[in-house]
Amino acid sequence: MDIALWQKRIVSELHETFPTRMSTEHRLLALHRQVGEASLEFAREQKAVNCDHHPPHGSFQSRLVAVFLDLFVLCEESGVDVEAELEEAIKWLQSHR
């Protein structure tokens, strides 16, 4: 399945599960929170921190996927063509080798 289809599927599933829509500002805050949770889970898995007072929110991997979910929704709601932007990013990376 290509990225655009994944994006459509994820956005559809999220909207069915959570019908109340977030504003762009709230979606960006959710992304910030998800990245923070991913950082915490990474540190916890590396035994770098002891967070017994803060219950786990899943594995580091599940937190990273949560970031993707919010990114896909934000891109969809903002009209971002993810595939085109990724192609541009690849071209830029190739031109800077």
59's CB contacts (< 8 A; 6+ apart) are 41, 45
Measured between its terminal Cα atoms, the distance across the chain in Å is: 29
| pTM beyond 0.95 | no
12-64 pLDDT, tens per residue?
999 999 888 889 999 999 999 999 988 888 888 887 777 665 556 678 898 89
Report how far residue 20's alpha carbon sits from residue 89's, in angstroms, rounded to the nearest whole number.
Answer: 32
Q: Each residue of 72-91: pLDDT tens digit? A: 999 999 999 999 999 999 99
Domain residue spans of the chain: 3-95
CATH 2.60.120 fits 3-95, yes or no: no
Look at residue 20 in the predicted model and tell me its pLDDT: 85
Residue 66 to residue 39: CA distance in whole angstroms: 12
Rounded CA separation 97/47 (Å): 36
